[in-house]
Amino acid sequence: MALFTDGTAVGIEDLTTQDSGLLEIAVVEGINLTTKLALAQDEVAMELKALFERARTNYVFGLTYSAVRLPNLVVNTPVRLWLVYQTLVLVYRDGYFNQLNDRYKAKWNEFASLTRWAKDKLIETGVALVTDPISQAGAPTVNSVAAPESAGTFYLSVSFVNAAGEEGKPSVPVTFTTADGNAPDVLPANAPANAAGWNFYGGLSPETMYLQNGSPLDLGTDFAFYPSAAVTAGQLPGDGQAPNFYRAIPRLLQRG
């Protein structure tokens, strides 16, 4: 699963799963769905920070909550649904104020109710957390090196691992084309401070990028990808770190 801080945690396809007519409405009303996804992530982040701060402040054993922070949060199902519904709230709110269309207002209210439901489910089931978050890798640096290989176009991705061997979310695949007599040479960029090594995935398509190294590579070490000797089965890029534990968020009763 991806970390919340890896970037926008849901995509347009997640929105259309909940609302099949969304794309048409976005075009008609001139609504930028990518912008709404980013705004929803910012709004949910602010609410999560407030929830976590109340948990740390009010929980008797405060040290138990030392890892309840946004960088440690894994996007599990309740978080993902909260983000989806919040995005749809923003879309239909804009649509309503554009046209004062009651159908849009009904959708706005419906998704606002589902947003509250998803938030309550997260509080009820607990947040998914990692103890040593390893962030998503950025695009690697790729160059050509002389090698007895044929020309080709390749898809390449890298990821970082922490000291426990837990793998962060791999980078978005990059494409690289070589001429005859060359091979791609890959080096990850901007390793996070807690990275202990890195993994390399390569193949002829995004669906066939297999793990090419038997164990994590040392930071600062490049990897020459020889397609003729490439691994062509096995581990594909994952979705990021799995949670190490779950932590309930106490419900607070207002006094007065």
CB 179 within 8 A of CB 215: no
Both tokens of residue 145?
Answer: 């090196």
**pLDDT at site 189:** 93
SS3 at position 198: strand
What does residue 96 show for φ and ψ, rounded to 5 degrees?
A: -65, -45
Strand-pair partners of 223: 186
Average pLDDT over residues 38-60: 84
pTM (predicted TM-score): 0.86
Average pLDDT over residues 51-62: 65
Average pLDDT over residues 207-216: 97
Strands lying side by side in the sheet with 223-224? 141-146, 182-187, 223-224
**pLDDT at site 252:** 55
Rounded to 10 deg, the angle between the 77-99 and 22-29 helix axes is 40
Residue owning tokens 């084309």: 177
**pLDDT at site 177:** 98
Instruction: With cut-offs at 50, 70 and 90, classify the pLDDT of residue 256.
Output: very low
**pLDDT at site 255:** 46
Please state which architecture CATH assigns to domain 141-229: Sandwich (2.60)
Average pLDDT over residues 61-88: 85
Average pLDDT over residues 132-154: 97
**pLDDT at site 191:** 96
Burial of 229 (0-12, 13-18, 19+ CB in 10 A): exposed
Percentage of the chain with pLDDT > 70? 93
Smallest Cα–Cα separation from 229: which of 147, 145, 146? 147
pLDDT digits (tens, 9 = 90+) for 156-210: 999 999 999 999 999 999 999 999 999 999 999 999 999 999 999 999 999 999 9
Q: Which helix (H) or strand (E) covers residue 95, if one does?
A: helix 77-99
**DSSP E strands, the chain:** 127-129, 141-146, 152-161, 174-178, 182-187, 197-203, 210-211, 223-224, 245-247
The domains of the chain are located at 4-129, 141-229
Instruction: With cut-offs at 50, 70 and 90, classify the pLDDT of residue 61.
Output: very low
Average pLDDT over residues 118-142: 94
**pLDDT at site 100:** 75
**pLDDT at site 182:** 98
pLDDT of residue 99 exceeding 80, the answer is no
Average pLDDT over residues 91-118: 92
Smallest Cα–Cα separation from 73: which of 38, 42, 49, 39? 49
**pLDDT at site 74:** 96
